[in-house]
Amino acid sequence: MDFKNLFDQFIGKRILVIGDVMIDSYLRGKVNRVSPEAPVPIVSLDLEEDRLGGAANVAVNLIAMGALPIICSVVGEILKSLLVEAGISDQGLVYSADRKTTIKTRVIGNNQQLLRIDSEQTNPISKLEEKDLIELVKVLINSGVDGVVFEDYNKGVLTPTLIQNVISLANEKGIVSTVDPKKENFLAYKNVTLFKPNLKELKEGLGLDFSFVHSKDKFEEAVVQLEKELNNNISFVTLSEHGVFIKDGQEQEYIAAHLRNIADVSGAGDTVISIATLCLIAGVPIKLIAEISNIAGGLVCEKSGVVSIDKAQLLEEVEELLAQ
C-alpha cells in the first residue's frame, strides 16, 4: 500500500471531538535532598508546562495528522488560551462560569513522577448546558463533518441523552462515529461505528473478570457480548503489552505489540482513537486500522508526558514495519 497517499487523505478531514477536555500540567525539576519537615523529596523547579489533555489531546493528534478537529465540550474559561495556541477552534465549546476545567498536575523530579494532583469537577453537566451542547453539535454536523469521536473520561460532559442524540444524528447523515469509553457510560454508546475500550474497561464495563493470557476464549466471548449490547460495527480492544484486537462481524485479528522503550503511557489511548478514526474514514481494512493505530500508540509511549503523534515518524515506522 502507498502509505504516504493514505496519510495525505487525512488532510482537511473535519472531525468533531466530543467529550471531557482537560489540562495536563507538569512541574519538572531536580531532587537533591529530602525535606527536613517531612520524609518527602524537595523538587528544585526548572520548568512549568501546560498541555492539552483528554478530548483536547485527541484534537491535537488529529491536527498533527493534518485533519481539522472541532472540540465540543463544556469548559471553564481557563482553557481558551491553550486552544488558541494549539490552533484548535472553540466554536463547539460551551463556556460555563459554574464548571471548572479539569487540571491534572504532575510533579516530576529527576524524570520520575513523584505526585499527581487532580483539580476537577465530575458531576454531570446541567440540563441547560447539555441542551446548548447538543444544539451546537447539531449545527456543526449539519454544516458537514467527516467523523465524530466520543472521548469519555467520566468527567460529566458526556451524558446518556447527549450520547444518544449525537449518535442518532451521525447515523442519519452516514457519518463515522468512534468511541474511547470509560465505565460510567460504557453501554450507552449503542449503534456506533467503532468502539475502542482497553482490556480493563471491557471487563469493568461488562462486569466480567477473566485472565486474557490464560483465557482468550473468555475474552472473545466478552467481545461478542459487547457487540450484542451495543450493536457496534467494529470492536477494537487495546491490550497493553499484548498489542490490540479488532473485530468486524466475523473477521477478527490480533496484532502483537512492537518492542518499545516505554517512558509514559499517558495519552496513548487518545492517539490510538485519533489514528483509528482517520483510517476508518479513509476506508482502510480493519487489520490495517489496527496495525497503524497500534504503531502510533507505541510511538507516543516512548516520550514523557502527554504528547501527540509525529506524522513523519509514524509514516516512517508504518512503511518500515508494514511493507508488503
The set of catalytic residues is: 270
Residue 242: burial class (beta carbons within 10 Å; 0-12, 13-18, 19+): middle
CA angle 186, 234, 251 (to 5 degrees): 135
Is-contact 18 137, C-beta < 8 A? yes
DSSP per position, 54-119 = EHHHHHHHHHHTT-EEEEEEEE-GGGHHHHHHHT-EEEEEEE-TT-PPEEEEEEEETTEEEEEEEE
Cell triple for residue 116? 499527581
Is-contact 219 210, C-beta < 8 A? yes
Q: Which residues are CB-contacts of 43 (< 8 A; sequence separation ≥ 6)?
A: 27, 29, 30, 31, 107, 108, 109, 114
Q: Report the distance separating Cα 6 and Cα 278, nearest Å.
A: 10
